[in-house]
Structure 1
């Protein structure tokens, strides 16, 4: 689940009355500060202007601009896809709708615990836990070629407010993706996964370096300055045999 859903109920209340000011009046100090920061965020404004479902789209756009991880014809899985902003970017970049008839057509599968509004060019698997073996089997069934070229993850667990515990929970989700990778990621493929920096980050990095030939740490400018979120970009997946 993407962190775009944080305080989603507050946003929904504001949208129902079509203005921010009345919504702010009856909120606690923390809620007031979150909403004020959200509506003043330049990336939130850009996402509305460019019709992206969430500001997180600009994190992926920035990463792709600098590292060229997406191109027409790729098959991709987007884990923690709700509300679908990353899927929007990927659909455009891999030409999943066939909008460019001269370019190869890609494929996008989005997976999340939450319900996801339909998106042309993407196949969504909602109410699905990526760590569940049944979900993993369903993913393989939905992939046209059985495997993908790139695994994307903007997943985040429901925050407890205990930083170290939340960090460990997200690291565990990333390890679940690595367990899934031998079954769905082509040799030479790419993985981009979000984590919250903490004491176990080096364990995830070590595992990625065992499984991929190139691993780098990225913090896009679109990440909030106060956020602990960082991304590992791992490229050139090593051949693995599965049973």
Structure 2
């Protein structure tokens, strides 16, 4: 069975291993680190730009940069956005694939978003809020909504809640990526795309190698809007090879 093969292959790999408002920024910092964070937010041009463009978070510009460079989203595409809260990637995806139908004359796409947190409605997107993407029941709900349609792109900005223990946090991040990869290879059409956030760590190369089993072109991407002092990178897989279905 395809499902069991994917699970065995990727499980082996694993084992080898809000929007900022002015009112919030006026809050008295609790520590030196929080003061640094607030100062960085105040001086970050992407924070103000996101507000001006009515985007829910600065992270929107990461997807915008990647799509501008690699052309992974087009009008008419079907997209699944994993770890969508607060919704900035979903906002970008809706516009790029014309899921809101506002680009007259272009085909209308579809965006399905999911997150453990509540996500406020976004015109043109179907949102599954308060649902853990990694839970089988959540993935089944996504499959039922898609009704057999294969998607053009799976995008993931998922990240685990930080524990403060680097090795544990990295391990949990890797698990989220493999969960997205397992799901993506089941629902993506041939030549489709997978984009996932990852933290640079000792398992990055293995994950990149495993993605290469399913995608013709896999690369690490660091958009300019990703802070220079962050270990955050993005794994981009293009040209999904498809699965042999028996």
- TM-score above 0.5, yes or no: yes
1:183 shift after superposition:
2.4
From 131, 136, 148, give the equivalent of 2:134: 131
Determine the C-alpha separation between the residues in 1 that align with 2:197 and 2:69: 17
Matched, 1:178 2:181: yes
1:145 shift after superposition:
4.8
1:168 shift after superposition:
1.4
Matched, 1:187 2:195: no
1:88 shift after superposition:
0.5
Aligned residue number for residue 80 of structure 2: 77
Determine the C-alpha separation between the residues in 1 that align with 2:189 and 2:195: 14
Matched, 1:121 2:131: no
Aligned residue number for residue 23 of structure 2: 15
Determine the C-alpha separation between the residues in 1 that align with 2:122 and 2:49: 20
The 3-state SS of whatever aligns with 1:34 is helix
Unmatched runs of 5 consecutive residues or more in structure 2: 1-17
Aligned residues: 229
Aligned pairs (5 A) from 1:94-109 = 94-109=97-112
Determine the C-alpha separation between the residues in 2 that align with 1:220 and 1:165: 25
Aligned residues of 1:70 and 1:93 also touching (Cα < 8 A): yes
Aligned residues of 2:78 and 2:151 also touching (Cα < 8 A): yes
1:242 shift after superposition:
5.6
Aligned residues of 2:185 and 2:214 also touching (Cα < 8 A): no
Unmatched runs of 5 consecutive residues or more in structure 1: none
1:164 shift after superposition:
2.2
Q: CA RMSD in A?
A: 1.7
Aligned residues of 1:182 and 1:242 also touching (Cα < 8 A): no
